[in-house]
Structure 1
Amino acid sequence: MHRIPVLLFALLFACCRGASQQQPATSHPADSAAVYQLTNASRDGIGKVYQGREIAQVMGHFGASWLERPEREREERTDLLLKALTLKPTDVVADIGAGTGFFTFLMAPKLPKGNVLAVDIQPEMITYLNEGKAKHHITNVQPVLGTESDPKLAATSIDMAILIDAYHEFSYPREMMAHIVSALKPGGRVVLVEYRAEDPTVPIKELHKLSVVQATKEMKAVGLKLLKNDDRLPQQHIMFFGK
């Protein structure tokens, strides 16, 4: 009986968390046949294939209330994710697809001499982020309005980029990741948090999951290698990549 609400939660969250990466932008880079292939869209995909993976559909900012539900921390064990990151007080962290800032505002107090660049492509989410700064009285969070293909981060400006259930929904993964890689400081890391595609018991649509093998292949295309895969979360990988 309990699997029905769990399934509903998983399906809703998979759409909502990465929603901020898919709002139509005014201009896009031209697709290259060597990078992306177009096909008939599946029920949950957009008909655009990258490295053999169809990019998943997402929802818009209408899922904001779901992102801020009171039980989220308990269900997703975001406390364990925060520990896994081993943040340093001086770190500059980019939360890519920050949404309402749920995890942004968990990280910020751990960075008293650093800051969080909360990147989103929807102006509505930037509004939520600014409201969150005022609500939490936090000054070391900087909302950044990006695009589907460019997070608008300065070169060599960040120690870490974290993407929580968002990467698999990027319309332009190659371009986005290339910009993120250029924004890394020497020794910087990219952290992908994704539902485990290897586990059939994870009650999530297949296109909203990502395997370690697939993630490693896609990150290799932009010059990153897998440093560590941490599976302490109930249903998600925490994959650390570096140059």
Structure 2
Amino acid sequence: MLLTLRCLVLVAVLWGLTACGTATLQASTEYQTVTPSADGIGRVYLGREIAQTMGHQGAGWLDRPSRVLQERPQVAIAALDLSPTDIVADVGVGTGYFARRIAPLVPQGKVLAVDIQPEMLAMLQAEEAKGIENVEPILGQPNNPNLPPTSIDLALMVDAYHEFANPREVMEGVVTALKPGGRVVLAEYKAENPMVMIKRLHKMSVAQVRREMAAVGLNWVKTDDRLPEQHLLFFQKPA
């Protein structure tokens, strides 16, 4: 009997060591390094090479007048179904193209405008000076959006997620910041459509987005394909 118990203990210890070893292996292999593509950083997450970040030098492209017709941002914003009291995090806010348009729709709430480039936030603040009061700039980090825990109703990422150098860590921060039942919405150029003239790594398929959001515990709700060039993908944190 004593020998049997000792054997069981030994098996349990060995199983625990194996489980720990497996967890360590999974963590260490979550990202892989490859030779960078022309528009990539050579870092692969769940089978996808991460795209290079568009620097603040390209900010003019975000505010181009043709964007209204090319991408129909007003349709995307309407699809968010915002409430006046919502706290919205625009992660990868850039110059604030969407944040400035969302702010009037949440008059009793606010927009937390997150970006890792101080220059982008400076451009946003220059626009804020024109009369927008409920947009709060937040300087994020490459691995942390710096959002308060359980503080937001919605996290929005427009043509930004594919450039996050540490997507897993950033999304874990977003999930922590979401209230129970809070939503995540991503707009990403359609990788499935070769007629969308965007660099390959700056587009994402529905399947890839769903795979990466599932990895951080988000539930897929729906995919809205009314936009001409982008998928709108809706996810929810369990209540």
TM range (shorter): 0.7 to 0.9
Matching residue of 1:202: 196
TM-superposed CA distance for 1:58, in Å, is 2.4
Residue 111 of structure 1 is aligned with which of 101, 106, 113? Answer: 106
CA contact (8 A) 2:190 2:204 kept: yes
**Residue in 2 aligned with 1:240?**
234
Q: Give deviations 1:19-68, integer Å, cap 9, x for gaps.
A: xxxxxxxxxxxxx5321000111112111000000011123100112212
C-alpha contact (below 8 Å) 2:213/2:219 kept by paired residues: yes
- RCO higher in structure (CA 8 A, sep ≥6): 1
Cα drift, residue 76 of structure 1: 1.2
Q: Which amino acid aligns with 1:167?
A: Y
Aligned partners of 2:162 and 2:229: how far apart in 1?
16
Q: Which residue of 2 aligns with 1:222?
A: 216
Instruction: Using the aligned pairs only, state the percent identity.
Output: 58
- Following superposition, which runs of at least 4 residues in structure 1 exceed 4 angstroms of deviation? none
Quote the Cα distance in structure 2 between the aligned partners of 1:70 and 1:204.
Answer: 18
What secondary structure is seen at the aligned counterpart in 1 of 2:220? strand
- The farther-off stretch of 103-112 and 60-69 is 60-69
Letter in 2 for 1:119: V
Where 2:28 maps in the other structure, the secondary structure is coil
Correspondence for 1:161: 155
Q: What are the Cα deviations for residues 82-140 of structure 1, in whole angstroms up to 9, with x where unaligned? A: 111011100000000111111110000100111000101111111111111112x0111
TM (norm. structure 2) is 0.86
Unaligned 5+ runs, structure 1? 1-31
Alignment of 1:98 with 2:93, yes or no, is yes
2:111 and 2:136 in contact (8 A); partners too: yes
Partner of 1:134: 129
Determine the C-alpha separation between the residues in 1 that align with 2:53 and 2:169. Answer: 19
One-letter amino acid matched to 2:225: D
Distance 1:219 1:82 in 2: 21
TM-score relative to the length of structure 1: 0.85
Q: Secondary structure at the match of 2:129?
A: helix
Partner of 2:32: 37
Larger radius of gyration: 2
Structure 2 CA distance for aligned equivalents of residues 122 and 44 of structure 1: 19
Q: Secondary structure of the equivalent of 2:97?
A: coil
